[in-house]
Amino acid sequence: MRWNKISDAVIRRLPLYLRVLDELARESDTESISSQELGVKAGVGPALVRKDLAWFGEFGKQGVGYEIGFLRDELRKILNLDSKISVALVGVGSLGVALTRYHLKRYAEDESFNLELIALFDSDPAKIGMTVQGIPVFDLKDVAAQVKEKQLKIVIIAVPASDAQEVANAFIQAGIQGILNFAPIKLQAPDTVHVVAADLSLELQRLAYYIPKYTG
């Protein structure tokens, strides 16, 4: 089930809540958590926690708070993390290899992380056919066949900006449903495909605003 008219800002906060609950489940015997505690640990206000969760149902109990195991399971269902989702990555350069290693480490260590990276793609003949951390590298010409065969749902794009839209188009045409874009360019995609941008240069420039100028 998908909920309509819920802002992306709400959806972005749900994984934060889930991360807090996952950590509590691993490290504590606590069975419940208040909206105040959950908000503090997630970095948001308690009223916002209650408002966010209320979009999806009534999960808390007055005077008790949220039962950690139950809310954790419900959030996983809401986020489609209650079943495995197959992921691909394009661009087996330094960034792509680093992302692959990080992703595999997270998948191996976190039982709630059900996004499995199973296919890599590149256009460099020297890389096609090799494996990175055990994951095969396919030719970009094979996108359509591999998306269908491996039931790929999400693709991570880690290629230069000049190639990113063409790569995105190939996966969109093949039926991909989600794109995480690391290329410094705004991708064009139909409403049926959700695109999330991870622009490192923009985030660094945003952080630069908060750095005091040296006046010595």
Q: What is the tens place of the pLDDT at every residue in 51-64? A: 999 999 888 777 77
pLDDT at 185 over 60: yes
How is domain 85-203 classified at the CATH fold level?
Rossmann fold (3.40.50)
The pLDDT > 90 percentage for the chain reads 74
Report pLDDT for 10.
93
Give the model's pLDDT for residue 155: 98
**Between residues 190 and 6, which one has the greater pLDDT?**
190
Mean pLDDT taken over the chain: 91
Give the pLDDT band (50/70/90) at residue 170.
very high
**pLDDT surpasses 60 at 2:** no
Provide the 10 A C-beta neighbour count for residue 51: 13
Whether residue 3 is predicted with pLDDT greater than 70 in this model: the reply is: no
Domain ranges of the chain: 8-78, 85-203
Which pLDDT score, from 0 to 100, does residue 214 have? Answer: 64
What does the alpha-carbon distance between residue 193 and residue 189 come to, in Å, rounded to a whole number?
Answer: 6
- For position 138, what pLDDT does the model report? 98
Helix (H, G, I), strand (E, B) or coil at 157: strand
The SS3 of residue 24 is helix
Q: Who wins on pLDDT, 202 or 185?
A: 185
Phi, then psi, of 125 in degrees rounded to 5: -55, -30
List, in order, residues 6 or more apart from 50 with CB less than 8 Å away.
35, 60
pLDDT recorded at residue 216: 56
pLDDT of the residue at 196? 93
User: Class of the 8-78 domain?
Assistant: mainly alpha
The sign one gets for the Cα dihedral 180, 186, 187, 190 is: positive
How many helices (DSSP H) and strands (DSSP E) are in the chain? 8, 10
pLDDT band at 86 (very low <50, low <70, confident <90, very high): very high
